[in-house]
Every structure is written in structure tokens, then in C-alpha cells.
Structure 1
Amino acid sequence: MPRVIILGGMGKIGRSIAADLLAHTNAHIMLTGRTALRGDRQQSPLGSRSRFLCLDLAETDRLTALVDSVDLVIHCAGPFDYRDQRVLQTCLDRRVSYLDVSDNPRFVQQCLALGDRAKAAGITAVVSTGIFPGISNSMVRLGIETLDQAEAVQLNYVVAGSGGAGPTVMRTTFLEIAHPFSGWVQGQWQSIQPYSAPEGVVFPEPYGTAQVYWFSTSEAVTLPQSFPPLHTVITKFGSLPGFYNTLTGLMARLPSGLLQKPWVVETLAALSYQMTQVTDPLTGVGVAMVVQVQGQRCGRSATTTVSFAHPQMIQAVGAGTGSIAQLLLGGQWQKPGVWPVEQALPSDLFQKALAQRNLNVTVRST
């Protein structure tokens, strides 16, 4: 039976991925965390095919030994703003497949730079799996494939409350709004102020129209590289209820450097998480995405809209990463190198994996 290690596996994202793998593969799974567990959870946090190991990623010898003992490593130990490429480099050294749920553009670019090394080792590594990034990247590819030529993409995301995620996701949000980021607009990289340019977007039910704002994501960096005809890639995010957007916008305009201080980020993340625990029972913890791809079809301007919604965002993250892991472990697919999802996963396999999980995306062309 295949063996998988999920680094940072006892967080909500790691456990969601583990649950998906236990449901759709026969893998044995090791979940790591920095804090020891007690009682039965030590041996079986998710059932007889899973176990917990206490591990700090700074323990390089133990990390190498664990990587040596498995067929796949899934890196969930974020925030990735704080991480380097040590785990991926270890996987390449030991010739073990690698996935992560990274959402930091700098981290992603540094991983992609190891692509030639991964090809030489014959190892498949895919970065930024999950939902956004992850499923969203495959939605863009699906939309582009309906056109003769794609010219512009806008990705819109909305999350209700916490989305079922933990404080780590909150930390990531505050780290990403701490400074302007580069956006690919009209064929050139431009400096974008995070949480600016609000726009109302109609999402699938039950979300309806929600406000979204410019937000830095790894897709904004990889999509122009993956599909060179694109002259514009816009990524916008919003929260429900709407007052969270107001608070996030205010945080994005704090004095320069304040959000670079770890204690400030930790404090804001903890407060935000406590607030969502109050509102989650009212709003739910779902997610919706709408991807609009503009271009040409049969010599005429055309737009394809690809939509997705799920009542449990954290479960959707597990499905996004779990589906790629399932394909790798089952030997159905591999592609040596280091790839973003849209370059790695063919659309037919993407749709098949979602269907196995009773999920689907809606494609509408005009």
C-alpha cells in the first residue's frame, strides 16, 4: 500500500486532505505536527490507516528519514511566507513525489525554479494544490480550452466566515495584504494595492452578489507564464458577511511595516478567528468561485464563465489536493518536473476526479 506523509497534517487543511485520501485511496498516512498529542489520537487521529508523528521541519535528519520511508510528501506546514524550499529539495534528493498547498508567490516561484532538477530525477512535484490556488487553476485551463485564443482572465473568490479553516489561513491573509503586489495587466506587471477596486460579482447560489477586491495569489503569477497569450490576469477575493471586507481593507492600509511584525500578525489572526467562530453558525463556511475567460472563438469575441461552489471550503481544499495525490499514487498520471496545477493536470482528469467526489464545475460560454 502507498505511504504518504502530510507535513503540518494535524491542522484543518492537513486533516481534510488526509480524510480525502483515506476515502479515495488505500494509502497509509502519517500526519506530523510540532506538538505532541495525547491518548488515542497519538496512534489513530483519523482511523487505523493513519498515525501521528511529532516533527519540527528544522529537524533535517528526521525529515530526510521520513521522506525516505514514503511514496508522497504533502507539505501543509504554512504560512509559506515563512518557508524555504528545504522540503522539496529533500524530496528531489530522495526521489519522492511532492505536493504542497502553498499560496505565497515568492515561495512558488522558487519551487518552480527547481523544475529541471525534478525532471532529471524523474519526480513529479505540483505546487499550490487545494482550492484557490488549486481547483481555481484548473477552472482557468478548462475555460481557456473552450476558446481559440484566450486574452484575459478574472478569478473571483468568496468565502463565508472562516471557511472552516484555522488561524494559519488568517495569518496568510494578513501577510498578503501587508504590501503592494505585482499584477499582470495589459501585458505588463503593475503594482497593485491589496484590497482595492471593489467589484460586485454574481456567485452561484446561495451566495448571490458579493463584493470582491484585488488580492495577491500565486495564480496571478503562474497563469501568465502558463498561457502566454494572456494580457491580463485579475485575482479578486471577498468575505461574507461583508463587514469582514471593511475590516480587512482597513488592515491593508495600516502604516507600512506594521503587518511585517510577527506579533501583530498573530494578534490579528487570533482576533479574526475568534470573530468567525461567532459568525460561522450564521453564514456557513462555504466557498464559491467564478472564473471569467475572455478571448476569441471562430473569429469573434467570446467569454467563458466557469463556476464552482461548495458548502465546506476546507473539504474542497482536501478534494483539490487529494485528487492530484490520488492520481499520483494510483499510477494514473505523472509529469516529472515542478509545476503549477494548470500546467500539470489535464482537464479530463480534473473533471473525473471532481466527479468521483460528487463535485462539478459549471461551464457557460457566450
Structure 2
Amino acid sequence: MDTGSILIVGGYGVVGSRIAADLAVDFPGRVVVAGRSQQRADAAAAAIGHGVRGRRVDVGVPSSIAAALDDVAVAVNCIDQPDRALLWAAIERGLAYTDITPHLTDLGRGAAYERIDAAATASGARIVLGAGMVPGISNVMVRALAEVIGGVDTIETSLLLSADDVLGPGSFDYLLQELTMSFDVHVDGADRRVRAFTAPRGVDFPAPLGIRRAYLFPFSDQVLYPRTVGARTVVTRLAINPPRMSRLLALLVSTRATHITARPRIRALLGRLRRGRTGHPDAPYALRVDVIHHGRAVTATLTGAGQAHATATSTAALVRSLADGAIATPGAWMPEQVIAPAPFFHRLSQAGLHVKTSDPEPAI
């Protein structure tokens, strides 16, 4: 078991502070919340208690990263970092690391994933990419379903979120960026280029939500399933509540008006307008994962309130597996490769997140 600090970068944000509070009870004196503001980090640490400390770190400055990692055993990243400087610094030091930021789709291109895996294996680092909900909880659902029916041919993941869910400004900016991009979906063993918020399909979410129109969306877990579980078809979709918001985004894509949101100044302006709203931290969400193998289908679902709570709870559960040595083999992993479903789902259920699995039935 590691005894060093658990550093949470972005630890005074909406999700990061919840992760810190979740872990602090079980790891007193070891949790460190960090960000560019020492004052905000110290304030968040004091509010959480249990010996949590504040620390300053700027992931754009290598010397700041080096100083922040000095006594760290596990690093958790909760902020967007396009160059992955914190990840590579953790690998260089042979640390444990996980990341809730959504930009992993490039790992499916070329040998990007293999380079990270090789470097981590060489240094002894234990890297789990894709904590949170999708990827994250969805990946462990895939593993659980694959164990039920003996394998994976097709994976379809659908997430329903509220437009007013107060997860933080980063997710809103991420959505705007993804609307402007094309991406690959893996169908029958081959990649197909598509655009976000196209090809709508009715998805039957658990009651009382019911059938909602969901659109193709580049969630990061899809790019590595062909490698990690041998899937031949992988599709991920997003629906937004209220439905008119989904229709508006689909209209922007179909009319090519999304080139406006591609401009950083426009996204920044929209982000400021978004932050001016109060939001609803308990807005409902729903996650559905369908797996098909050899003509049999099985489904797992999760419903709840507050995306931030679900993201933080699942990430904290994953961090525990790194901190207590349950994930012991060096390398770069996705959750479906290293997280046992039963204890993970038990940890979620203790926080009010209940994953339900259907009985296998013939695939339609």
C-alpha cells in the first residue's frame, strides 16, 4: 500500500472538492487539494478537514508540477491539460495516476496509447485513464456485462444529462468543442467518420425518463474498446434534457453553424454566460450500456441526481484501488481492464448510486 500523498489537481473545483471530501475520511492527512490559487486550495482543504492540505500547482509550468509531486503517491487530474504534462510527469516518477478529463479520443490514433503504456510499464507507473461516468462507470458496466454473457461483440453506451447540471464550466466548453469536430465510430471492425449530434436514435432509459432521442457523441471510452475487450462495434450517444436542447444542438450541426462555437472567444463568452446561471446540482441523469455477444444481449443502467456526485464518487472509488494497491501492475489501463465490478458497484451503492443489470435475452 502507498503511503504518500493523494494529490487532486483541480481539487477545489466542483468535482475535485467532492473527490477530496470522499477520500479524506479513509486517508486522513494524505489528501492534498491543488490548483493555481493557493488561497482557494487552503480554503477548500480547511472546509473538508481530516488533515486535508492545500497546495499550489500550475500544470503549464514544469517546475510547478515537479514541486507539487514531490511527496505524492497518487495523482488525480480534474482539469483539462491538452499536452498531458501532469500525466507524463507522473509516469516519469513512477506514480499512480488517474484522470477525469474527457479528451482521450486521440489515444485511438496511431501509437499514442502504446507510448503511454510502454513508458508507464518501464517506470513502474500505474495509470488508469478515463475515470468518472463516461468513461468510468460505463467501462466497468461493460466488463460486468461481458462477464454475464461471456464476451463482447457490440457496445452501445447512451448518457442522458440535464442542460442545467452544475458540473462546472469545463464540461460546457467541452460540449461546444465536440460539436465542431468529426470523429470515428467503430462498426463491424472498421472505423467510420461521423459528426457529433447526428444519427439520432430513440433510447429507452429507465422510468420515469422513458424513450429519449440520443445522438452520436465522441465519448472517450469508445476508442479503446476494440483493443481492451475485442469489440467489433462501439457506439456512444448523448441526450440532453430538455429535449429541445438536443434538437437545437442537432440543428446547429446540420446547418454547419457550429463553426461559430469553434472560435475560442465565442466559447469563452458562452462560458461566462453559463457560469452566470445558478444551475441545479441535483439534476437527473441516466446511463445505459448495452452489450451484445454471440446473439445475446444484456443491459446495465444507472440513474441518479447530480452528475458531479456520480463522477466524484466513481473517481474516488477508482483512486482507492490505486492507493491501496488493488491495481498493482504497472502500465496504462482503462477501467474495464483493472476494476472488478462487484466491489466497485458496492462502493457506488453506498453513495446512493445503484447499477441495475438485466437478464440476457436474444439480441434484436
TM-score (norm 2): 0.89
Q: Distance in 2 between matches of 1:338 and 1:71?
A: 16
Give the Cα separation in 2 of the matches to 1:20 and 1:69: 21
Could you tell me whether the CA contact under 8 Å between 2:35 and 2:58 is conserved in 1?
yes
Structure 1 residue 255 displacement after superposition: 4.4
Cα distance in structure 1, aligned partners of 2:185 and 2:312:
28
Query: Aligned letter for 2:347?
Result: A
Match of 2:58 in 1: 56
Find the counterpart in structure 1 of residue 327 from structure 2.
333
- 137, 140, 156: which is aligned to 1:138? 140
Q: CA deviation at 1:93?
A: 1.7
C-alpha distance in structure 1 between counterparts of 2:308 and 2:25, whole Å = 16
Residue 318 of structure 1: which of 291, 302, 312 is its match?
312
Unaligned runs of 5+ in 1: none
Per the alignment, residue 88 of structure 1 pairs with 87
Aligned runs of 1:122-271 on 2, under 5 Å? 122-228=124-230, 230-252=231-253, 253-255=255-257, 257-271=259-273
8 A Cα contact 1:183 1:234, kept in partner: yes
Q: Which moved more, 1:231-240 or 1:334-343?
A: 334-343
Runs of 4+ more than 6 Å apart: none
C-alpha contact (below 8 Å) 2:154/2:291 kept by paired residues: yes
Alignment match, 1:303: 297
Letter of the 1:177 counterpart: L
Change in CA separation of 1:334 and 1:206 when aligned onto 2, cut-off 3 Å:
farther
Query: How far did residue 204 of structure 1 move?
Result: 2.0
Do the aligned partners of 1:143 and 1:306 also contact (CA within 8 Å) in 2? yes
1:48 Cα deviation after fit: 4.1
Q: 1:348 to 1:334 in 2, by over 3 A?
A: farther
Give the letter aligned to residue 66 of structure 1.
A
CA offsets, 1:208-264, max 9 Å, x none? 222211101111101122122x22111000111112212322343444743332112
Contact in 1 for aligned 2:283/2:307 (Cα 8 Å)? yes
- Structure 1 113/346 Cα, relative in aligned 2: closer, same or farther at 3 Å? farther
Say if 1:119 and 1:89 are closer, same or farther in 2 by CA, change over 3 A. same
Distance 1:289 1:3, change over 3 A: same
Answer yes or no: is the 8 Å Cα contact 2:12–2:40 preserved in 1. Answer: no
> Structure 1 stretch 332-341 or stretch 245-254: which is displaced more?
245-254
Change (3 A) 1:247 1:32: farther
Q: Secondary structure at the match of 1:31?
A: strand
How large is the Cα RMSD of the aligned pairs?
2.3
Displacement of 1:43: 5.4
Measured after TM superposition, the shift of residue 269 of structure 1 is 3.0
User: 3-state SS of the aligned residue for 1:259?
Assistant: coil
Aligned-partner Cα distance in 2 for 1:29–1:69: 11
Asked if structure 1 preserves the Cα contact closer than 8 Å seen for 2:345 and 2:354, the reply is: yes
- Cα shift at 1:7: 1.0
TM-score by length of 1: 0.89
Q: What aligned pairs does 1:106-125 form with structure 2 within 5 A after superposition?
A: 106=105, 108-109=107-108, 110=112, 113-125=115-127
Tell me how far apart the structure 1 counterparts of residues 161 and 191 of structure 2 sit (CA, whole Å): 27
Gaps of 5+ in 2: none
Specify the code of the residue in structure 2 equivalent to 1:319: T
